[in-house]
Structure 1
């Protein structure tokens, strides 16, 4: 008890009172003001009150110039709305672009003779300059070249189209003008300035100005958006990291059934200064998505979490944690992250498992049916399987997969047969002819546990194959020193469980119906039913996040990581060598 108290005190000492990743109020205020100004610019650009101002300025500025200024004001407003999110995350590039756009907005408003908005934009520009030290998050260096390429592409397309348009209307030009003057006119038109050419008909000049001005605006606007795209970090292990993680899992792997999945090839590791704890994560669309609990000693978790959050703040990434348990959620919550229950993990207690009794009737009958049909299971460590048997299992893992994508991130290894995973436990199910018809792979959970990773079964096989493989794993577990087995994760299991209880409220029942509808695509309810029949204990898993406004971005990142969206397919290897 005394040691536990000391550990809690150490954790409290390490936990900062105000997390460094949380945006300061002044930065949030600047971001909101910029977005308000952007919305105002976008709205005023489409209001009809500009006609009398055009008449007043007709002797000072050409009509095409005023039209371009009006369109540019709308584009600037939309960009300011977009840049507000980057400012909130402290992006230095967002500050630079916003400062430039506010200065441009002042000029554009003056060109439209709207003095009041020009003063507002000037005021925002002053605030940005005063608060410049608040914006220091790094951008993705690769975005510079991407933005330059996109901008150059639009500008080149606009120049070619504008030049062709002028060439086709060369007969309507007044005075002598060669190709060089045509090119000069197109280039100036792309930045909203009236060129040296004059057409016999005003509508012709306006058409050329609209073409060149549109491509100029698109080039700079799209380039700015690409420049501010959320950064990422390529997966990869630093020298010695994998060996250290495996050693850490060997010493401290009993705490979390998901610890071994930190060894996925698409995850990165950030260490506590002492190297006694680490956070496994992946960056997707500006979200740094950690999975499970921190690795290592709980006393060193605060240092690892602080290092991870400092990395998020340095790059302007949104921190989020997928599928941590109660201990991990508590540790992350001390750093200011909020938590919601994501679902429950089914855990079988091996010594207490039995097929006897009415609750296990369905499992008992399914197992008996499969055994009577002649199916048998072999339970073996991967390292003890000969090369021919391992190659057959590899073929089964690919052939029996449903769909063309290997899904998983937080609770899947997404590879099979790697020599480094020799401690994985395999359940191989064969029919009477010796053909492999089903496969389970369990990864180590410390020294006395297993966590289900891969489930494959021939859909043409008899019913009861999956139940037979799970029960065979449980029955063979004592021989391998295994005391507990983690099965599939059931998303929002508590909703289904509460909906089945007497007196369940209307909100719970409606929510359960919504999840059942979603189960047609994602097997939400079927996974819950498949786990529940083994009478496991349920361990809640949580999603940790900074604020409710970030949940949509985090949800997209999580679905991408789990390969439910195309972006998540990169970096994860399919089962195979």
Structure 2
């Protein structure tokens, strides 16, 4: 059968499997979220029955909505207002929120409490909102239409249920649910200002109060991941809302919220000023006339550049970026200055004070001037929380890219405008063109009151006139996003920190703590220099390798200290290959742990290697000795040139023959052999030829070596079978004679220890299932399971290695960081080799498995 025929047979099978998997996932979702699914179906059915699903708006539909307490109403509107959408968009959004946000709430609350939360918060919100409508109906600042608006919105009970469920979520999700929920609801209420937005906000506040009652007596963690992270996230949300809020008001036709007046500063032209210019000429009319003639998509985008920059800054603030802090302060300072200058020049006024213009002026000044100044003050008070800087090279690249973009756009404008001068209303002079060139990069609102040079009325000149500024700011945003991804080298990566780390290591450390001395690691130390953590930063994730070094009893403070240090620099802290000794401290912090491998340890006192169970080790040991094989202890720096070249050849042959990338991070290579504290044990045959090599990392207690950990393992392809068993057995016997307590065969990544009789397996999770799948996929490539089975011949004690992390949401970036740490320099050819090995026929020997 040919390849094409095989593919033809496999395709339907694969399709059926995907379909079956999709059906299984759907069934599981329906089973776990009956309230969310039922409510989504109810919205769909009521939308069809009322006609709102296809945009029907008439008296019949409005008769189902809730209104002000001062207006006639019927009892059924307390139900229909919460289940009937008022438009096609409302129906679609309500269904999507029901299937997503409400499903999350349902999993936290359960079926009964979800129904109760929706009913209580929804109905009470209708009465409270309707009462508020009646109370403000007589105010001059509130129009009759707003006071009597009917409310039809199924998202009201959804908002209440989500807010209530946040009380039962974990620390991180509780904060996230509340920040996201109230930021979104508050933004629409304060800027867009439609009545439905206020009803949703009321329901969420009621849900928050209800949640406090539901969570009464529930356990609470005493330590959050980091107050710095929470404050940064909150500040990022505030800055994002000040950017997205005016956009929401613009989308809502100008908005009716108390802060919506600020949106006038981000339009192409000022309608009020245009009307004023019809009655009386002022200098600003020249500018306004030019805006009206040259309006289009480009100027509209340019007008909202400050808002886009605020959203961009919020993205960086969340990760503690100093450049984002500078950007947020600069934009807010510009907006505050614009408002103050506009007011000083008299370009904004509010006639008819009797009709509530004083109140309107106050809201405009608050949203346009006070709010930006307030944001600047808050950012200034928290400046120390934004210390993540890009590397010098990244900053230079950013400056070059932005500078070149400005020069190119400005040059394009000058070139086209100077050639097509006839397209302008009047022939421009060179001074006019230079002035207008600068103006093309500035949002229109910042130019009010400033004279207007000649402008093009059409053709290519108008296109360039409208778009060069937009192109520049797009380049600016993209370059800044790339700048946010760069981080300067961390502290603790110099020789002095390594010397201090080694001194603490000699005081006492775990069997894997020597990994912290490897190149690529930096070191964090406690204030008293008695605790240390070795780590490396990969993709914004601070991967702490092995158990921290700390005095007994200070495990918790050491873990929290490093976590705070990492978070203050915008990194995600993760501890990799830690042992059970540290798990209680992580549990007290509310962190999660997951098995990432098994360390195999031999206790040497009393070791005999006698009995049938040692037969698989004794036989190759005796055979190798009969054939003249010897085991030689040495150090890399003591090796003769001929012997070291043999070891290099063995290692290079292993890598070349397998055509696979050599892994790093917790798996040493040739580079890690050249350390004065690392011992080598060589298997040398009767002819003086090195057949295999192993390296051993020391572990100390009070300055005395108490253990050795196996790291580097290589053998010749033609080496006799059992040579690795020979080396490890000889190492164990020699170490026992020297009084060493522990021999560690190191860790086996993604391996699972054998269960003892009667021991049940751990409860499976999505992550453990993924790791199990990953272990199976990687087995043909790296042979982790085969290596683990090989080590089991020595009847070791199994010590589980864990990865500890604070936030399950960041597992994707954590997994990517771990992968990049293990394969930091893999080339595209090597990745192709991995894939080819994965697709190799079954039965092929895994790469690197001992024989």
TM-score category by the smaller chain?
Answer: 0.7 to 0.9
User: 1:305: how far off?
Assistant: 4.3
Cross-structure match for 1:94: 324
Q: Cα distance 1:32–1:273, how it changes in 2: closer, same or farther (>3 A)?
A: closer
Tell whether the 8 Å contact from 1:442 to 1:451 is kept in structure 2 after alignment. yes
Cross-structure match for 1:280: 534
Cross-structure match for 1:376: 629
Cross-structure match for 1:543: 803
Q: Cα distance 1:91–1:204, how it changes in 2: closer, same or farther (>3 A)?
A: closer
Cross-structure match for 1:189: 440
Matches within 5 A, 1:374-453: 374=627, 376-382=629-635, 385-388=638-641, 391-392=644-645, 395-396=648-649, 398-400=651-653, 402=655, 407-410=663-666, 412=668, 415-418=671-674, 421-431=675-685, 433-446=687-700, 447-453=705-711
CA distance in 1, matches of 2:399, 2:466: 19
Larger Rg: 2
Matches within 5 A, 1:176-575: 184-191=435-442, 196=453, 198-199=455-456, 201-207=458-464, 209-219=466-476, 221-223=478-480, 225-226=482-483, 229-233=486-490, 236-237=493-494, 239=496, 241-253=497-509, 256-301=510-555, 304-305=558-559, 307-335=561-589, 337-351=591-605, 374=627, 376-382=629-635, 385-388=638-641, 391-392=644-645, 395-396=648-649, 398-400=651-653, 402=655, 407-410=663-666, 412=668, 415-418=671-674, 421-431=675-685, 433-446=687-700, 447-494=705-752, 512-521=772-781, 523-564=783-824
Tell whether the 8 Å contact from 1:33 to 1:124 is kept in structure 2 after alignment. no
Q: Cα distance 1:282–1:170, how it changes in 2: closer, same or farther (>3 A)?
A: same
1:67 to 297, 301, 309: 297
User: 1:159: how far off?
Assistant: 2.5
What secondary structure, in the 3-state scheme, does the structure 2 residue paired with 1:481 have? Answer: coil
What secondary structure, in the 3-state scheme, does the structure 2 residue paired with 1:444 have? Answer: strand
Tell whether the 8 Å contact from 1:91 to 1:139 is kept in structure 2 after alignment. yes
Q: Cα distance 1:547–1:29, how it changes in 2: closer, same or farther (>3 A)?
A: same
Cross-structure match for 2:349: none
What secondary structure, in the 3-state scheme, does the structure 2 residue paired with 1:553 have? Answer: helix
Moved more, 126-135 or 481-490: 126-135
Cross-structure match for 2:43: none
Q: Cα distance 1:401–1:480, how it changes in 2: closer, same or farther (>3 A)?
A: farther
Q: Cα distance 1:247–1:158, how it changes in 2: closer, same or farther (>3 A)?
A: closer
Matches within 5 A, 1:106-185: 125=372, 128-129=375-376, 131-132=378-379, 133-141=381-389, 143=391, 146-147=394-395, 149-160=397-408, 163-164=411-412, 167=415, 170-174=418-422, 184-185=435-436
Moved more, 388-397 or 525-534: 388-397
User: 1:22: how far off?
Assistant: 3.1
User: 1:442: how far off?
Assistant: 0.5
Tell whether the 8 Å contact from 1:344 to 1:541 is kept in structure 2 after alignment. yes
CA distance in 2, matches of 1:496, 1:202: 77
Q: Cα distance 1:188–1:484, how it changes in 2: closer, same or farther (>3 A)?
A: same
Normalised TM-score (structure 1): 0.74
Tell whether the 8 Å contact from 1:450 to 1:486 is kept in structure 2 after alignment. yes
Tell whether the 8 Å contact from 1:349 to 1:485 is kept in structure 2 after alignment. yes
CA distance in 1, matches of 2:769, 2:563: 38
Tell whether the 8 Å contact from 1:443 to 1:451 is kept in structure 2 after alignment. yes
Structure 1 unaligned spans of 5+: 1-15, 568-577
Question: Whose RCO is larger (CA < 8 A, sep 6+)?
Answer: 1
What secondary structure, in the 3-state scheme, does the structure 2 residue paired with 1:261 have? Answer: helix
What secondary structure, in the 3-state scheme, does the structure 1 residue paired with 2:697 have? Answer: strand
CA distance in 2, matches of 1:354, 1:74: 78
What secondary structure, in the 3-state scheme, does the structure 2 residue paired with 1:298 have? Answer: coil
What secondary structure, in the 3-state scheme, does the structure 2 residue paired with 1:262 have? Answer: helix
CA distance in 2, matches of 1:86, 1:459: 51
What secondary structure, in the 3-state scheme, does the structure 1 residue paired with 2:547 have? Answer: coil
CA distance in 1, matches of 2:368, 2:814: 32
User: 1:313: how far off?
Assistant: 5.0
CA distance in 1, matches of 2:631, 2:567: 49
Deviations 1:463-490 (A, max 9, x none): 4333333233223322333332212322
Tell whether the 8 Å contact from 2:534 to 2:545 is kept in structure 1 after alignment. yes
What secondary structure, in the 3-state scheme, does the structure 2 residue paired with 1:276 have? Answer: coil
Deviations 1:398-432 (A, max 9, x none): 524526966433464863453xx434321212345
Q: Cα distance 1:24–1:227, how it changes in 2: closer, same or farther (>3 A)?
A: closer
What secondary structure, in the 3-state scheme, does the structure 1 residue paired with 2:226 have? Answer: coil
What secondary structure, in the 3-state scheme, does the structure 1 residue paired with 2:398 have? Answer: helix
User: 1:380: how far off?
Assistant: 0.4
User: 1:94: how far off?
Assistant: 3.2
Q: Cα distance 1:181–1:504, how it changes in 2: closer, same or farther (>3 A)?
A: same
Tell whether the 8 Å contact from 1:41 to 1:73 is kept in structure 2 after alignment. no
Q: Cα distance 1:360–1:118, how it changes in 2: closer, same or farther (>3 A)?
A: farther
CA distance in 2, matches of 1:86, 1:40: 19
CA distance in 2, matches of 1:375, 1:41: 83
Structure 2 unaligned spans of 5+: 1-220, 255-262, 275-287, 343-360, 828-851
User: 1:219: how far off?
Assistant: 2.3
Q: Cα distance 1:249–1:179, how it changes in 2: closer, same or farther (>3 A)?
A: same
CA distance in 1, matches of 2:779, 2:251: 45
Cross-structure match for 1:7: none
Tell whether the 8 Å contact from 1:379 to 1:473 is kept in structure 2 after alignment. no
Q: Cα distance 1:459–1:120, how it changes in 2: closer, same or farther (>3 A)?
A: farther
CA distance in 2, matches of 1:59, 1:384: 81
CA distance in 2, matches of 1:45, 1:489: 58
Normalised TM-score (structure 2): 0.53
Q: Cα distance 1:43–1:117, how it changes in 2: closer, same or farther (>3 A)?
A: farther
CA distance in 2, matches of 1:425, 1:70: 69
What secondary structure, in the 3-state scheme, does the structure 2 residue paired with 1:494 have? Answer: coil
Q: Cα distance 1:415–1:397, how it changes in 2: closer, same or farther (>3 A)?
A: farther
Deviations 1:434-463 (A, max 9, x none): 332321100112222111121222335444
Tell whether the 8 Å contact from 1:487 to 1:531 is kept in structure 2 after alignment. yes
The structure richer in helix per residue is 2
CA distance in 1, matches of 2:414, 2:559: 61
Moved more, 428-437 or 58-67: 58-67
Tell whether the 8 Å contact from 1:347 to 1:487 is kept in structure 2 after alignment. yes
